[in-house]
Amino acid sequence: MKFRNLLFWSLASGLLLGSSCTSPKKEPATLLIYGGPIYTVDSTQAMVEAVATKDNLILFAGSLADAEAYKNEDTKIIDLEGKTMTPGLIEGHGHFMGLGYNEINLDLMNTTSYQEIVDAVAEKVKTTAPGEWITGRGWHQSKWTVAPEKTVNGFQTHDLLSAVSPDNPVYLRHASGHAGFANAKAMEMAGLKVRSNEGIDMFKIEGGEVMRDEFGAPTGIFNERAMTLITKHIPESTAEKDRQAFEMAVAACHRNGITGFHDAGIGKETIALYDDMKNKDKMKIRMYAMLTGWDKELLDEWYEKGPMIDSDNLVTIRSVKLNCDGALGSRGAWLLEDYTDRPGHFGHETLPMEFVKETALKGLEFGFQVCAHAIGDRANREILDRYEAAMDEKPDLTTDHRFRIEHAQHLHPDDIPRFAGLGVIPAMQAVHMSSDRPWAIDRLGEKRIKEGAYMWQDLLQSGIPIVNGTDVPVEPLNPICSLYASISRKTLKGLPEGGYEPAQKMTREQALRSYTLDAAYGAFEEDIKGSITAGKLADFTIYSQDIMTVSESEFLQTEIEMTIFDGAVVFTKEDQ
């Protein structure tokens, strides 16, 4: 498939709107932006001097002299004063409400030891009533600088946590979201015998694992589907708290230059919340939401009524998210060969592959994109097999399916060309490489890492675009970190010299496209956003320095100076 050509089929008509050869009488602009490098991600003109907008649409992109013809006494002027502008950035895979709730609950993203988690919970206990749940997210045992004294399968045990929170049930999600850590009180409320292996049948969960110590007692770690043993006992959130988390997530997006968001898996309650926020004019982000595959009743309901493609370009629902394996950090990713650091363990198939094929068939029939989470090489292969089988059964419906695999983190070399061959888009979060690569080699070994992990350039050269992002709140939302990882293949500390597997680096142009036009393509939205092109939506991100030319060593010092959404300024750094 000629994906690159598809991205620009509509640009010719848009370019005519901005051409200096149009009628001398120009429609007056509401906003005129100039004064710094403006990268359009438009193949017909990579850079322009000025952009004129009318309300929420781009009127013109080109020379400043020509742009002046769109100005009148009511036109608002933004002088970039040397700062850089690009199309508004699109978070290509994240969890929007998780982003908001991470700002409300305990944020453990930056903890560097088990003791820091214990201390954070102990502090929270002081202001929490006995019996009330304490929840949080963000810890990652492989990123700690100090290892716990006692571990089971590389994970900490609950004893220290339970000691500081005897009267409060505590549940702390792993950064990946694919494991959780519970204290004794939470396990007792779930009916688990904390000090023995009594009730051992409760520990057997298909597609998951309750980790136990040498005596058969639970350690507090719940992997993959076993997490539900605890999470089903956590009280549901309130409507007021949901609204607060939503508004905090919108503000976080604006601070980070994000104007579009691919929300990777939502249910009925979140859909209702988004409808309410849109009706109240609070949907200040372009939401591309995926229906959660866990709820078959929800899927059947949407198959019957079909995709919702919002004419206001604010909330679109036309895809399904399937969770098919776990994460490398929790050793839940489903592998073809066993884990190097846990022999005999292959990870977890967290969703039956028969359901993947069934969903792919229904997606083709009813017009829904399928987005399947797969991190391990076996999960990726199995999903590609099911996609291919569905396409073979319904060949007349495969002309523009744009099925995706979310993460595509570890691939068998034989499967890399299959993405382009089948037209399956990899949605890969570059910052995962930066965070995970130093310890991922322990899970996979050197050969598998070098031949199949984070294979960005091989995939791009095969002819398939990559959708970038952060998987927030698994990683911080900051796109500068993910763009840096894309072009450097280094950790955020700048290591190692030359980057990990440097042949797989993205160019700066490729990295910017992965956050703009290619991300828009991954949501069927390249005709309305993703490039600064006349006729498209007026969403822009403005940076403190030129991300296309600044030295790699100074790249991470880049800050978001301004975010423009729907033709209006929604964030300025100087106002913070």
Task: Please give the single-letter amino acid code of residue 465.
Answer: P
Q: State the pLDDT at residue 352.
A: 96
Element spanning 438, H or E: helix 430-452
User: For the residues of 56-67, what is the DSSP string, one character each?
Assistant: TEEEEEE-HHHH
Q: Is residue 525 part of a domain?
A: no
Q: State the pLDDT at residue 104.
A: 84
Q: Is residue 74 part of a domain?
A: no
Q: State the pLDDT at residue 26.
A: 84
Print the domain residue range for 111.
106-231
DSSP 555: G
Q: Is residue 440 part of a domain?
A: no
244 class by beta-carbon count within 10 Å (0-12 exposed, 13-18 middle, 19+ buried): middle
Residues recorded for the chain: 576
**What residues contact residue 35 under an 8 Å CB cut-off, 6+ apart?**
78, 79, 80, 81, 82, 83
Q: State the pLDDT at residue 274.
A: 98
Element spanning 159, H or E: helix 159-164
CA distance 505 to 501: 8
CA distance 367 to 397: 9
Q: Is residue 84 part of a domain?
A: no
We report the CATH number of the domain holding residue 161 as 3.10.310.70
For residues 74, 80, 84 and 87, what is the CA-based torsion angle, rounded to 10 degrees?
Answer: -10
Q: State the pLDDT at residue 107.
A: 87
Q: State the pLDDT at residue 575.
A: 83
**What residues contact residue 348 under an 8 Å CB cut-off, 6+ apart?**
207, 208, 209, 223, 224, 225, 325, 326, 332, 334
CA distance 97 to 473: 9
Residue 41 DSSP SS3 = coil
Query: How many structural domains compose the chain?
Result: 1
Whose structure tokens read 């866990």? 294
Whose structure tokens read 């570059």? 430
Residue 280 DSSP SS3 = coil
Whose structure tokens read 């007792």? 188
Structure tokens at 150: 């006692």
Kindly provide the residue ranges of all beta strands, DSSP E only, lying in 463-503, ordered along the sequence.
none
CA distance 299 to 289: 13
Tell me which residue of 430, 474, 409, 440 sits closest to 175, measured CA to CA. 474
Structure tokens at 239: 């409507």
Q: Is residue 216 part of a domain?
A: yes
What is the side-by-side order of every strand in the sheet holding 106-107? 106-107, 134-139, 170-174, 179-182, 218-224, 208-212
Q: Is residue 148 part of a domain?
A: yes
Q: State the pLDDT at residue 18.
A: 43
* pLDDT tens, N- to C-terminus, the chain (576 residues): 434 344 333 433 443 344 444 445 689 999 999 999 999 999 999 999 999 999 999 999 999 999 999 999 999 999 999 999 999 999 999 999 999 998 888 889 889 999 999 999 999 999 999 999 999 988 989 889 888 989 999 999 999 999 999 999 999 999 888 899 999 999 999 888 777 665 555 566 788 889 999 888 899 999 988 999 999 999 888 899 999 999 999 999 999 999 999 999 999 999 999 999 999 999 999 999 999 999 999 999 999 999 999 999 999 999 999 999 999 988 999 999 999 999 999 999 999 999 999 999 999 999 999 999 999 999 999 999 999 999 999 999 999 999 999 999 999 999 999 999 999 999 999 999 999 999 999 999 999 999 999 999 999 999 999 999 999 998 999 999 999 999 999 999 999 999 999 999 999 999 999 999 999 999 999 999 999 999 999 999 999 999 999 999 999 999 999 999 999 999 999 887
Cβ proximity of 67 and 50 under 8 Å: yes
Q: Is residue 8 part of a domain?
A: no
Q: Is residue 319 part of a domain?
A: no
Cβ proximity of 163 and 176 under 8 Å: no
Find out whether the peptide bond into 473 is cis, omega within 30 degrees of 0.
Answer: yes
**Would you give the end-to-end CA distance of the chain in angstroms?**
46
3-state secondary structure 211-260: EECCCCCEEEEEEEHHHHHHHCCCCCCCHHHHHHHHHHHHHHHHHCCEEE
